[in-house]
Amino acid sequence: MKSRLGVALVALVLVAGLGCTPEIVEPPAVTVSDEPREDRAVAPTPPEDPTPEVVWPLTGMIAEGVPGADLGRPAVAVKIENTADGRPQKGLEYADIVFDEYINAGCLRLVAVFHSTLPEAVGPVRSARNQDPNIMGSFDTPIFSSGANRGVQETFNGLEQVLFGNALYTYNDYLRFSHGFTRKSWEEVNKPLEFRLWGNTQVFAEEAEEAGAGPAPQQFDYAYPAALATAAVEGEPVATMDLEYSACGHPHWDWNAESGVWDRFEFSDRHVTMDGTPIQAANVVILRVDVAYTQRKIPESFVVVSDAPGFVATHGAVQPILWTKSSRTGGYILETLDGDPVLLAPGQTWIELVPLSGAWDKATITFDGEVQ
């Protein structure tokens, strides 16, 4: 009996154990393929950086392939006449940056800065003024002029900058003779005697380097592409800009949408060179300045730290800005009213130094007929 019962119990356990065995679930077959799925998203290609690798420092224009010796040469600053008797000028269209400054009798004179192109003839070259070291102090280069009076010589005395000229009888460490000047005849230029001095900027560049000038330092920031320039993005559209310095100086700018630049006029006359080339600019920067005077009643300097608003005009639009220049050798700092850096369009730039105070006549700035 016991043996049969034991066998029965064993059989029962075995049957029960078989009833509790879990079901084996087979996973679905997986097919592995080396071919990519057509609906799989591809990672986007990052956009190319539009900033050129090599640019001219004073224009921001592309300079790929330009010899390093050309990129690294000094800037050349030349004082050029801008009265009715001095116009039209020679070679002015090649300047990278031009300063329009107020001088005695309310007239204007130019400081033209050449670097990317060095023409063999520019003029008429005229005398330096006391404010020129302030204007050009950040460029680390000499100033070439027809000479300077004793007061101007004293201004340059002790400065690292050198004044090159050929119209004085005496020369010293800071005023030197330049071999780049040529006197023209009446028949050649049809101008009075004081407006017949021409300069060779190629010779000037060599003499500037010999005087210790370094490579031209970049002065402004540029937008790439140009459509992202500050005024183009944030400014108000403007077709015309009138800058009435005085009865002697009245530059006028018109936006040329076809050419994409500002066209310059003097009063109502188109500003052209002796070759008939129109004067144009990608950017017009308007800075209000205070004018001080020497004992001889000659404009001496403008303040180099200013909280007076100015303007930058690019791509047919004008943007209000603030500007500072912390010292004679300090750079021009241009900011929006919100404190953001101002970006210019690559190309030539004209800087209008409009008197805020100290001028013989009240200077006015007018955009599309509206006085600012």
Domain layout of the chain by residue ranges: 68-371
Label residue 171 by pLDDT band (50, 70, 90): low
For residue 313, report the phi and psi dihedrals to the nearest 5 degrees: -115, 120
**Taking every pair of C-alpha atoms in the chain, what is the biggest distance, in angstroms?**
150
Three-state DSSP state, 290: strand
Stated length of the chain:
372
Question: What is the mean pLDDT of the segment spanning 312-339?
Answer: 93
State pTM to two decimals: 0.84
pLDDT digits (tens, 9 = 90+) for 59-69: 999 999 999 99
Label residue 363 by pLDDT band (50, 70, 90): confident
Label residue 291 by pLDDT band (50, 70, 90): confident
The pLDDT of residue 358: 66
Peptide bond just before 225 cis, omega within 30 deg? yes
Is the pLDDT reported for residue 261 higher than 60?
yes
CB atoms within 10 A of CB 92: 25
Environment class of 366 (CB within 10 Å of its CB; exposed 0-12, middle 13-18, buried 19+): middle
Label residue 301 by pLDDT band (50, 70, 90): low
Inter-residue contact 252 to 243 (CB < 8 Å) = yes
The pLDDT of residue 309: 81
The pLDDT of residue 16: 39
**Count of CA atoms in the C-beta half-sphere (13 A) of 351:** 22
Label residue 1 by pLDDT band (50, 70, 90): very low
Inter-residue contact 231 to 353 (CB < 8 Å) = no
Lowest pLDDT segment from 28-37, 40-49, 187-196, 263-272: 28-37
Label residue 168 by pLDDT band (50, 70, 90): low
May I ask the CATH class of domain 68-371?
alpha beta
CA angle 187, 188, 194 (to 5 degrees): 90
Label residue 33 by pLDDT band (50, 70, 90): very low
